[in-house]
Structure formats: C-alpha cells, structure tokens
A and B are shown apart, each in its own frame.
Chain A
Amino acid sequence: MIRAKAGREDLMTFGASSGALHAVNFAGRHPEAVSRVISFSGLYDIHRFLHGYWDDNCYFSCPVGVLPQPAARRRSTG
C-alpha cells in the first residue's frame, strides 16, 4: 500500500525515541522491504522494560538482542 501510494519502490523508515526503536526493528525484521532507516535517539535495548522476562517475541523485537555483542555485554543483558 505504501509503495502504491508513494509511487516508488524503495521504502524508508523513520522514528524518534520509541519510534526509532520501531523504525530499526521493522527494518531488521524486513530487510528485503526497507532500503533506508533514520532513527533519532532510540533506545534499542528493551531488557529494562521486561523485568527479566524473555521469549522469542522479545528477541525479535529487540535490535540489540539480535546484533552480535562482546561476551561480557551478552551475559549482562540476559
């Protein structure tokens, strides 16, 4: 629908703060659909909101969780 309304094939996501998280997360989950991402000061680690809870849905909604990290940080973030 977006492509049809915009009249172009490339798709860009943009967001600020929590919107930045969603902009990055959408691009990470659908890289074939997105060509550019602009994120303004997002919080990309959602662990602080989950109070220890973690499942596959959380994993796929947390950009930081998907990216490879040094061993020390990986242990501290769960």
Chain B
Amino acid sequence: MKHIGWVIATGEHDHLVQANRDFARDARRQGAQRARASSGAASSATIGTTGREHFRRFVPVTRVGLAVFFRQRPDTARVPMKTALGIVLASVIVVTNAQTDDIGVPIEPLRYVKNGAESDSPAYPWGFRIDDAMTGLATDGQGVWISAWAHVVVVDARVHRL
C-alpha cells in the first residue's frame, strides 16, 4: 500500500462521493499516505476516458452540454453573453416558425405545475415559455437539439452570470 501512488477521485455530484471519501480515509490508515478522495476530478477527467454517462457524475449536466457543444474544458466552460443571447434568439425564431410551418400541429396550451397544482404562471424564473414549446417540438422529433442547447445556454447564463 505504501509504495503505490493512489488517486481516489470522485466528484461533488456523484452519489458515491461519501463512499469514496470513506475508502480514501481507510486507505490512508492502512499506509497509503497519498490516497485522497479528490473532488476536483473534473479538472482532469475527459469524456474520452470516462464515458459521457460517467461524466455527469463529476460535473453538472448543463456544464457538460456546454463543454461538448463549444469544445471547451467542462470544468471551465463559458459562453460569451452575446453568443448565448444569439442562440436563444435563434431558437425562438426556429420554434416560432416550427409552430406554424414545419410541424403544423398546434402545441398544447402552456400549463405549469407548481407545488403540485397546475398554473398559468411559468415555473421558471426567466419567464420564457420557450421551454414548453420545446417539449412540444421534442415530441414531434423536430428541432430537438437546437432547443436543448438553447435551454442549456439559458440555464448556464443565468446561474453563472455570463
């Protein structure tokens, strides 16, 4: 145990974070002085080595989406505000056109569920109804990835004040 270099990596978003910390602590007691349950695994993890499904255990999903889309490091992914607004605007245009021309199927009236009760008020703080319009599009299989990325950018721009 002593002459082996141990890296017990985990992430704050992983359901096994406590189990990994416990194991690293036990390994140190056994003599693996360098064993640490590092929560900074995202800084060195890459999708190529861990697989996309594992990657979500280390970093927030929105951040993974940004990183994949903009080919950035997941732990430091950032999008310029102008780019984010441009994508949102483009998505609004796409969704609006899709409602009338591409799909031809009226999207269901917007209903929001808040605290278990339906409401006409949006549950999302930014007030965009684009989110539910996206759901309607997704069921028809059109414009899915564009709307998904717009959602990601909106969320990340708000959370991280880009």
Contacts and interface: CB of A to CB of B under 8 A. Distances in A.
Interface of A: 14, 16-17, 27-28, 31, 34-45, 63-64, 67-69
Given A63-B23, A67-B26, A40 B4 contact: no
Contacts of A27: 4
26 contacts: A14-B49, A16-B49, A16-B54, A17-B54, A31-B1, A34-B4, A35-B3, A36-B4, A36-B7, A37-B4, A37-B6, A38-B7, A39-B7, A40-B9, A40-B54, A41-B10, A41-B14, A41-B16, A41-B20, A41-B41, A41-B58, A44-B19, A44-B20, A45-B23, A64-B26, A67-B29
A31 B3 contact: yes
Contacts of A68: 26, 29-30
B45 interface: yes
B151 interface: no
A42 B8 CA distance: 8
B5 A42 contact: no
Report which residue of B6, B23, B51 has the largest number of chain A beta carbons within 10 angstroms of its beta carbon. Answer: B23
A35 B4 contact: yes
B27 to A, nearest CB: 6
A77 to B, nearest CB: 11
Nearest to B9: A40
B33 to A, nearest CB: 14
Nearest to A45: B19
A43 B9 contact: no
Contacts of B17: 41
Contacts of A63: 23
